[in-house]
Structure 1
Amino acid sequence: MAVTIKDVAKRAKVATSTVSRVIQDSPKISEATKARVRKEMKALGYEPNYSAQSLANRVTQSIGIIMPESDVAIFQNPFFPESLRGISEWVNEHNYTLSIVTGKTSDELLSRVKLMTRTGRVDGYIVLYSKQKDSIVEYLHKEKIPYTVIGKPQQFISETTHVDNDNYQAAKDVVTYLTGLNHERIAYVGGDQEHIVNLERLRGYQDALREAGLPLPKEYVVREPFNLEDMRTLLQASPPPTAMIVSDDLVAMAVQKMLAQLGVSMPEQLSMVSFNNLMLAELMNPPLTSVDIDIFSLGYQAAKSLIEKIKDPKELTKHIIVPHRIVERKSSQTL
């Protein structure tokens, strides 16, 4: 005979409603009671019927993950699998599932988010990026759908729970690190002009140079997209940079290849520092000095904040900053 929720309640000496709340991981139930009920569930071999729970409570136990609009390139960026690993860690602990939302354009992405919402497939969303004038964030906010953002939102910032690094300060710290190595001519390469993370890092770089009284010629900043000739032009500036900050590790890998084609050796002729500290940073030749932004924690904290909001709509808005640190490797050296 199948074990029922009543059997668990009887053995744990609690009400069936308490067992139900434990299954939902309700914050209204103490950790001690949760532990006791779960112990009896395991002893009896009881497996909760999450589908039935969802129908009864009109929840899906599923959250949507909104990727940036793209066709192929986004899936080749290790930032997203690592952030998904952090998200998965929390949702698996709390018996949620994930649904990935993708689209080649922002309109297609918005259409799919609306369809997923209309058909009741998820309880809320994590937006894996932040950019200016985002129609998806506008839609989620207008419809009062629970969501969190990884990054610094530009709309409804005081009302939007988000998890981010202090990218502005991180870029300033990189400039300080390089000036500590006696570099004064520092270039910045990469980053589009749409996503907030890129704008914040560029702003931090520019402000740090100004505050240090160091030169900031316009030719020292090269934005995406760029090519080999753009890199050649940068290196032919008068005077040429002795160090380079790159917007992220993937871009740094492309830049390193261009530098090799131009006969520039790292770090003897040019020091380089990047952001994100992906695994490939260690595999580059020379290994890349990079800012570790703890991508796993960005995902983990975003999932935690969203599920807390889903369970308690009165949960206060949170602005969570995940610390960063510079991981020094052989791509940078004292001038």
Structure 2
Amino acid sequence: MAVTIKDVAKRANVATSTVSRVIQDSPKISEATKARVRKEMKALGYEPNYSAQSLANRVTQSIGIIMPESDVAIFQNPFFPESLRGISEWVNEHNYTLSIITGKTSDELLSRVKLMTRTGRVDGYIVLYSKQEDSVVEYLHKEKIPYTVIGKPQQFVSETTHVDNDNYQAAKDVVSYLTGLNHQHIAYVGGDHERIVNIERHRGYQDALREASLPLPDEYVVREPFDLEDMRTLLQVSPPPTAMIVNDDLIAMAVQKMLSQLGVSMPEQLSMVSFNNLMLAELMSPSLTSVDIDIFTLGYQAAKNLIEKIENPKELTKHIIVPHRIVERKSCQALPSPEE
């Protein structure tokens, strides 16, 4: 007759649930108990049926990573592999696996999340973005499925565990950094206004300029998608900007190329600060001053808090802010002070 989990529990003098947790290598079981149970498993020749364990406990030891709806371009943004590296660090330490969920549209993304949920392939989800009126977050919240968000959700914010930077304050800090270099005419090149991160950074930029009593003409703000003519128009505003805040290092690389085509040199004619501090910021010429948002930690904390929620449904909702810092490089130059 085949050896069962009950036989192991009886030999080890523990509950069957304890044996299940030892098989899953749960951190809630002491190493001494794990050693005793494994010794009896070996003595009885018991081989765990991991598929049966998952079905019996409704645990797959897998989490779903929900990417933003997009085409192939999203996978070329280094933010996502770096956040996945942080997620993987915690997941691997706790013997979970990852499933990536993608879709070209919001409807397609939601459909695939529903399929993953219906077929019981994952225990919970990390939403790797935040935007307004998100049908995916609405579905996860309504169905009481464990999830965390990287970013600041606009729906159910008080009830949703999320990990984010203070993007509003980060943008204000960048304005303060540039005004400290005597820049008074500061432009902003931003991403789309669906993503909360873009909204928060733009709002911080605006408020910082108002608080410093600096000009904020509409012409100083350029939104995606933009082209060479848009950049030319920006530089022809009177007075022209002496500094520029760019919402993302990848966008900054495109902007730098356009500036070069227009014969504008950095930082001699225009200083630039960006966000994310990707590796390419250091490789650009001149190297790019950028706000380090600690992408790895965003992913690590998102995975940590999701798995804690999966393993303990009574875990409290958490709002975690990961610190940022400005990494100075060579893309900014001080101007003479107005008194000089």
TM-score normalised by L of structure 1: 0.91
Residue 263 of structure 1 is matched in structure 2 by 263
Determine if contact 2:190/2:202 at 8 Å carries over to the other structure.
Answer: no
Shift of 1:218: 0.9
Q: Distance in 2 between matches of 1:280 and 1:37?
A: 50
Give the drift of 1:23.
Answer: 3.9
**Shift in CA distance, 226/240, structure 1 to aligned 2, threshold 3 Å:** same
Displacement of 1:312: 1.1
- The 3 A distance-change label for structure 1 pair 118 and 238 is same
Per-residue CA shift, 1:163-219, capped at 9, x if unaligned?
000000000111111111111111100211100000000000110111111111111
Which residue in 2 is equivalent to 1:17? 17
1:36 and 1:172, CA in 2 relative to 1: closer, same or farther beyond 3 A? farther
C-alpha separation in 2, matches of 1:48 and 1:72: 40
Q: Deviations over 1:242-272 (max 9, x none)?
A: 1100000000000000000000000111110
> Distance between the aligned counterparts of 2:256 and 2:100, measured in 1?
33
Task: Please list every run of 5 or more consecutive structure 2 residues that lacks an aligned counterpart in the other structure.
Answer: 336-340
- 8 A Cα contact 2:164 2:321, kept in partner: yes
Distance 1:239-1:54 versus aligned 2 partners, 3 A rule: same
**In the superposition, relative to structure 1, how do residues 45 and 66 fare at CA in structure 2: closer, same or farther (>3 Å)?**
farther
Shift of 1:58: 1.5
Find out whether 1:165 has 2:136 as its counterpart: no
Question: Counterparts of 2:286 and 2:7 in 1: how far apart (Å)?
Answer: 62
Partner SS for 2:273: strand
Shift of 1:68: 0.5
- Structure 1 position 115, deviation (Å): 1.0
Change (3 A) 1:41 1:202: farther
Cα pair 2:131 2:196 within 8 Å, conserved: yes
Unaligned runs of 5+ in 1: none
Structure 1 residues 37 and 246: CA distance shift in structure 2, 3 A: farther
Separation in structure 2 between the aligned mates of residue 323 and residue 42 of structure 1, nearest angstrom: 47
Identity %: 92
SS in 2 for 1:267: coil
SS of the residue corresponding to residue 200 of structure 1 reads: helix
Larger radius of gyration: 2
Do the aligned partners of residues 178 and 2 (structure 1) sit closer, same or farther apart at CA in structure 2, a change above 3 Å counting?
Answer: farther
Q: 1:333 to 1:34 in 2, by over 3 A?
A: farther
Partners of 1:150 and 1:302 within 8 A in 2: yes
Structure 1, 17-26 or 221-230: larger mean CA deviation: 17-26
Pairwise CA distance, 1:37: 7.1
CA distance in 2 between counterparts of 1:63 and 1:217 reads 46
Alpha-carbon distance change, 26 to 265 in structure 1, aligned in 2, over 3 angstroms: same
Distance 1:40 1:92, change over 3 A: farther
Contact map agreement 1:26 1:311 (CA 8 A) in 2: no
In structure 2, the partner of 1:144 is: 144
- 3-state DSSP class of the match of 2:323? coil
**Structure 1 position 43, deviation (Å):** 13
Q: Distance in 2 between matches of 1:35 and 1:292?
A: 43
Change (3 A) 1:227 1:120: same
Q: 1:165 to 1:31 in 2, by over 3 A?
A: farther
Query: 1:122: Cα distance to partner?
Result: 0.8
Do the aligned partners of 1:188 and 1:245 also contact (CA within 8 Å) in 2? yes
Aligned partner of residue 286 in structure 1, secondary structure: coil
Q: How far is the alpha carbon of 1:18 from its aligned partner?
A: 3.0
CA offset at residue 51 of structure 1? 2.6
Distance of 1:27 and 1:77 partners within structure 2: 34
Verify the 8 A CA contact 1:190 1:225 in the aligned structure 2: no
For 1:290 and 1:101, how far apart are their aligned partners in 2?
30
In the aligned structure 2, how far is the partner of 1:64 from the partner of 1:73?
21
Deviates more, 1:320-329 or 1:40-49: 40-49
- Shift of residue 42 of structure 1? 11
Question: What TM-score do the two structures reach when normalised by structure 2?
Answer: 0.90
Equivalent residue of 1:204, what SS? Answer: helix
Residues of 2 paired with 1:202 and 1:9: CA distance? 59
What is the number of residues matched between the two proteins?
A: 335
2:316 alignment partner, SS class = coil
Distance 1:206 1:25, change over 3 A: farther
Alignment CA distance shift 1:233-1:41 (3 Å): farther
Shift of 1:50: 3.4
Change (3 A) 1:44 1:96: farther
Offset of residue 56 of structure 1: 2.2
1:79 aligns with 2:76: no
Pick closer, same or farther for the CA change 1:260–1:146 going to 2, 3 Å: same
1:282-307 deviation per Cα after TM superposition (whole angstroms, max 9, x unaligned): 11111110000010111111111111
2:130 & 2:330 partners in 1: Cα distance?
A: 32
- 1:328–1:32: structure 2 CA closer, same or farther, 3 Å change rule? farther
SS in 2 for 1:259: helix
In structure 2, the partner of 1:3 is 3
Asked whether the equivalents of residues 241 and 270 of structure 1 are also in contact (C-alpha less than 8 Å), the reply is yes
SS of match in other structure, 1:131: coil
Task: Give the C-alpha shift of residue 5 in structure 1.
Answer: 7.4
> What is the CA-CA distance between 1:17 and the residue it aligns to?
4.1
